[in-house]
Chain A
Amino acid sequence: EAQVTQNPRYLITVTGKKLTVTCSQNMNHEYMSWYRQDPGLGLRQIYYSMNVEVTDKGDVPEGYKVSRKEKRNFPLILESPSPNQTSLYFCASRSEGSGGAGNEQFFGPGTRLTVL
């Protein structure tokens, strides 16, 4: 089944304790991206990757790191989490398609992170 998986789905942690949220897709998509969703603010892009070893900042990259060593994986790293990073996080992927318009983006199930 074509899908984007994220782990963990729920995480409660404390300020300053490094954590990684994994994201994996099995559709051979070039493009992957991380978003956070907060009430009243909608979905905001954290980082995205157009292909292996290529990553770029989205609108809210501060406090986050990513890497894209393989096509299928795009982990999100919080080196020193803070309470303002408490949020619902989504990973997504899409193929780049022909014609340069990109294609439908598939979302993972979400990771609800609470930083105390």
Chain B
Amino acid sequence: EDKVVQSPLSLVVHEGDTVTLNCSYEVTNFRSLLWYKQEKKAPTFLFMLTSSGIEKKSGRLSSILDKKELFSILNITATQTGDSAVYLCAVSTSYGKLTFGQGTILTVHP
């Protein structure tokens, strides 16, 4: 059975802090790992990672994948209140299945 586990489940920080969100996985026929941000609506895409060791960056957010150790991290530097959301990690397999983790609830206080 494919499994994706995120940690921590919940995180509360103050503006300006740096956070690291974790995602580990066990799947058959890995194809890609995706990060999404979900506020009070549909998830929005952040990153797709397919290769180990190559950092993807978008503004204050960055992510990297380790295919040997089967995990990924999502870093957010200089957090802002607008970063408060649920961050979802998902793993896609070659036959089309997409398995999501439970999500990490990030709360950023002013």
Contacts of B74-100 to chain A: CB distance below 8 A = 88, 90, 92, 94-100
A residues contacting the other copy or chain, number (CB 8 A): 27
Contact across chains for B100 and A43 when beta carbons are under 8 A apart:
yes
Alpha-carbon distance A31/B105, docked complex (angstroms): 28
The B-contacting residues of A in range 27-66, CB under 8 angstroms, are 31, 33, 35, 40-45, 48, 50, 56, 58-59
- Tell me if A45 and B99 are in contact (CB < 8 A): yes
**Residues in A neighbouring B94, C-beta threshold 8 A:** 100
Q: Tell me the complex Cα distance, A50–B51, Å.
A: 23
A43 CA to B86 CA, complexed, in Å:
12
Answer whether residue A90 sits at the interface, using C-beta atoms and an 8 A cutoff.
yes
Known A42-B100, A100-B94, A101-B32: A109·B42 in contact at CB below 8 Å = yes
**Given A42, A99, A106, which contacts B88 in the complex, CB threshold below 8 Å?**
A42
Say yes or no: is B68 at the interface (Cβ < 8 Å to chain A): no
Does B43 reach chain A (CB closer than 8 Å)? yes
Out of A31, A50, A102, A108, name the residue touching B42 (CB < 8 Å): A108
On chain B, the residues within 8 Å of A31 by CB distance are 96
| 30 A-B pairs in the complex with CB atoms less than 8 angstroms apart | A31-B96, A33-B96, A33-B98, A40-B102, A41-B102, A42-B88, A42-B103, A43-B43, A43-B90, A43-B100, A45-B100, A48-B98, A50-B96, A56-B95, A56-B96, A58-B97, A58-B98, A59-B99, A90-B43, A99-B50, A100-B94, A101-B50, A102-B31, A102-B32, A103-B48, A104-B34, A105-B34, A107-B44, A110-B41, A110-B42
Q: Please report A residues at the B interface, Cβ cutoff 8 Å.
A: 31, 33, 35, 40-45, 48, 50, 56, 58-59, 90, 99-110
Other than the given A43-B43, A102-B32, 17 more pairs (CB < 8 A) read A33-B96, A40-B102, A42-B88, A42-B100, A45-B97, A48-B97, A50-B96, A90-B42, A90-B43, A100-B31, A101-B31, A101-B32, A101-B50, A105-B34, A105-B98, A107-B43, A110-B41
